[in-house]
Structure 1
């Protein structure tokens, strides 16, 4: 038996949520880079940290959390990887002195991930 097609409004909402998820992922990488480049550890050190931090997050994401991740892991473990990457990005924004935007970022990630997880576990 084939699955029941979703109404157009639900499909549009899910697509918008997926687009938001992608934008939040890009923002997380940008925040990690910004944090790394602004560390006062010397020019070469901050350059290395500004490149290595988002690169490590992107590799972790691609291996375990991406829609087409290299390794299939349980949903709870995937959520753990997302929590590490997004949590690090929120903490990076907090460390940069932007407390309220860090809270908004964390809240947006939480709502977006909860909605996506709910849909994926119900499908």
Structure 2
């Protein structure tokens, strides 16, 4: 049961990054601002995720703090997707992450 849940959470992480990029590239601004936001927002989320949440994270956090950082990243991705004009997929992104994370916890995955 854990393998499909882990695969789903990985796909949701990619969707979170894509949501941040979508927001940036669809801003009503000049191309340089769209380029900076479209590349910068997912890069910032990826750096935070890699530093605190990935299996090879450079900063080891206690489980509740790690969960809080993960939630903040997904909520940020959801908000950015909603700001890009897609509120339903934004809610689905965050809700699917929460359900998958809960099921992974029940399956015994501490991360």
Q: Give the alignment's TM-score, normalised by structure 2.
A: 0.91
- Flag as ranges the 4+ runs of structure 1 deviating above 2 A: none
The answer to whether 1:40 aligns with 2:28 is yes
Question: Which protein is bigger by CA-based radius of gyration?
Answer: 1
The alignment of Structure 1 onto Structure 2 pairs a total of residues equal to 109
The answer to whether 1:97 aligns with 2:85 is yes
Match for residue 60 of structure 1 among 22, 28, 48: 48
> C-alpha displacement at 1:30, in angstroms?
0.5
Structure 1 unmatched runs, 5+: 1-12
Match for residue 117 of structure 1 among 80, 105, 108: 105
Aligned mates of 1:27, 1:78 — CA distance in 2: 19
Match for residue 11 of structure 2 among 15, 18, 23: 23
Aligned mates of 2:44, 2:81 — CA distance in 1: 17
Match for residue 76 of structure 2 among 77, 88, 92: 88
Which gives a bigger RCO, structure 1 or 2 (Cα 8 Å, sep 6+)? 2
Q: Give the alignment's TM-score, normalised by structure 1.
A: 0.83
Aligned mates of 2:88, 2:40 — CA distance in 1: 26
Whether the 8 Å contact between 2:17 and 2:45 is mirrored in structure 1 is: yes
Aligned residues: CA RMSD: 1.1
